[in-house]
Structure 1
Amino acid sequence: MHILQRASFHFKGSKDEMNGAIPLTRLSHSVPGSPVDDRLNTGEVIGSAESLVGRILAEQGLGKYCDPVFVKNTSKELREALNMTREEMDSAAHQLLVREQQGRPISYHEEDSNFV
């Protein structure tokens, strides 16, 4: 039997910090059962979208709304708006997280509508 583990968004901070002004070092992406500061690896795809959505909401000043239910519903709405499956959304988010970790920024070019 194969057991899947879901990645999760973890907010570490005081209630005063939940206004969205959260340093990136206070946000993490982890798999339950592993140390929070572990690096992403290729097996950590499931739940990547919710983790990324939660982090972006916090970075954009919506940290006080980043409870698991809100993050899950926001991720679902985004996934539906983009007409993506959960697996496609997690895979895309995972790729963004890996590129970020590698120091390879994502840029968008309007003329060709592709991410580089």
Structure 2
Amino acid sequence: MDITDTLPAECMSHIISLTTPRDACRFSVACRVFKSAADSDFVWEKFLPSDYKEIISSSVSDSSLITSFSSKKDLYLHLCHNPIIINNGTLRLVLEKESGKKCYIPVAVVHRFIPWGDIPDDWI
């Protein structure tokens, strides 16, 4: 008897939610049963910051992000690759892809010009 036959999908989703986003993606390619559990909104909501709804609704970039994605996984991946502007335009927030941790980047740092920045030797 296969464990995927006896273990309810909700239980598998709960177990996967205790891992990392990377592990959840690995589970999703292992087999069909794991894919549905690993791709569930339950799992990906656990990887999003607990205050993600408040952060997105207060962002100056786009407060409709919560409803514009068909799944929490899509929202998570979007927030990993597309920083949102928060704190009255002074900070950018992006999720660290491996862990889902919030990374804050001051907008002034993003727009800072380094005159010699295109010379590779200057980055050592």
Larger % of helix: which? 2
Query: TM-score normalised to the size of structure 1?
Result: 0.27
Q: Which structure's CA Rg is the greater one? A: 2
Higher relative contact order (CA 8 A, sep 6+): 1
